[in-house]
Amino acid sequence: MINRIKTYFLLGVLSVIFIIIGSFFGKSGMIIALIFAFALNWFSYFFSDKLVLAMYRAREIPENSYPSLHRMVEELSMNAGIPKPKIYIIPSQTPNAFATGRDPNHASVAVTEGILDLLNENELKGVLAHEISHVKHRDILIATVAATIAAAITFIANMLRWAAFFGGIGGDDDREGNILGLIGMLLFAILAPIAAMIIQLAISRSREYLADEGGAKLCGNPLYLANALRKLAEGVRNSPMRSANPATSHLFIVNPFSGKNIINLFSTHPPIEERIRRLEKMVI
């Protein structure tokens, strides 16, 4: 119920921002923005998972290609009491994984080629259990919608910046156009962080801790996931996902970027060390 309220809130914020941006182009711009907001809201709810999978060129894999992977997902899904999600492979050597979909009946789990090469079966089981836990607790709808919203806001704000730069916004005279151009530039500077802040509000660090705990129980051994997280952190440092979209980074089990940068200020991932400590504490 809480996640559903968050989703509606985010879709409402998206609509308001689009309409405000559209108003800079006059009444016709506002009407177009309103129509576009309704269309994107509908698309975000029903198809944002497909957009994210396409963004990372993920391909669905048949059961005969990766039988052990399908077997683990089916076993964990039965333990969680949910339908078996579809399984996708991402063509990337960065070791990582994420789940997406609006509910357990429309869920997918995506893993990179790198994670299959890096982890042993028990560690991979721990990662898959973490993602299945997200699916079970319906964390993934709000995560995927937030990613779509953040990407859309940044894209529209970027268009507004260029329109302001070339004097294509608002006003019938130069003075008014210059003022609106400056406002447009200011809006872009503000809206980009807002996109990250929306994600920060949508996905709390507590949900990652809960998914870790739930995953540990599903796979039967907290150390499976603890050992996997340790390897994944090192793997991402050695081979960061350079093509990753910052607006979707929160979907992954570990942050796909390496090093300390501005993205870490808005990170929804708890520190790996703390996650490992909590998992190891469950064994005691």
Whether 131 is catalytic is: yes
**Using CA atoms, how far apart are residues 40 and 56, in angstroms rounded to an integer?**
20
Describe the chain by its helix, strand, coil percentages, rounded to 5. 70, 5, 25
CA distances from 3 to 47, 81, 147, 213 (A): 17, 20, 15, 19
Choosing from 153, 170, 202, the residue where a domain stops is: 202
CA–CA distance, 16 with 1 (Å, rounded to integer): 23
Task: Please check whether residues 131 and 211 belong to one and the same domain.
Answer: yes
Full residue range of the structural domain in which residue 165 is found:
2-52+142-202
44 in the same domain as 151: yes
Q: Residue 48 belongs to what H/E stretch? A: helix 26-55
Judge if 179 and 238 occupy the same domain: no
Do 134 and 269 belong together in one domain?
Answer: yes
CA torsion through residues 131, 230, 51, 74, sign: negative
86 vs 111: CA distance, rounded Å: 11
Per-residue pLDDT of the chain (284 residues; tens, 9 = 90+): 565 566 667 666 666 766 666 666 666 766 776 777 677 667 767 777 888 899 999 999 998 989 999 999 999 999 999 999 999 999 999 999 999 988 899 999 999 999 999 999 999 999 999 999 999 988 777 666 666 666 666 666 666 666 655 655 554 455 455 566 566 656 655 665 565 556 555 556 678 888 999 999 999 999 999 999 999 999 999 999 887 777 677 789 998 876 444 444 455 678 899 999 999 999 86
263 shares its domain with 233: yes
Catalytic residue among 123, 131, 208, 213: 131
Closest C-alpha among 142, 148, 244, 265 to residue 195: 148
Kindly state whether residues 184 and 259 are assigned to the same domain. no
CATH number at residue 228: 3.30.2010.10
pLDDT of 261:
47
Residue 138 corresponds to which tokens in the numbers above? 């319906």
Asked if 37 and 67 sit in the same domain, the reply is no
Residue 84 contacts residue 229 (beta carbons within 8 Å)? no
Q: Where are the alpha helices (DSSP H) in 166-247?
A: 174-202, 205-219, 222-238
Same-domain pairing of 211 and 88: yes
- pTM value is 0.74
Of 202, 225, 241, which closes a domain? 202
User: 225 and 103, same structural domain?
Assistant: yes
Whether residue 156 sits in one domain with residue 124: no
- Last residue of some domain: 167, 183, 202? 202
Please count the structural domains in the chain. Answer: 2
Question: In terms of domains, do 133 and 215 share one?
Answer: yes
Exposure of 107 in the CB half-sphere (CA atoms within 13 A): 27
> Same domain for 116 and 163?
no
pLDDT of residue 263: 46
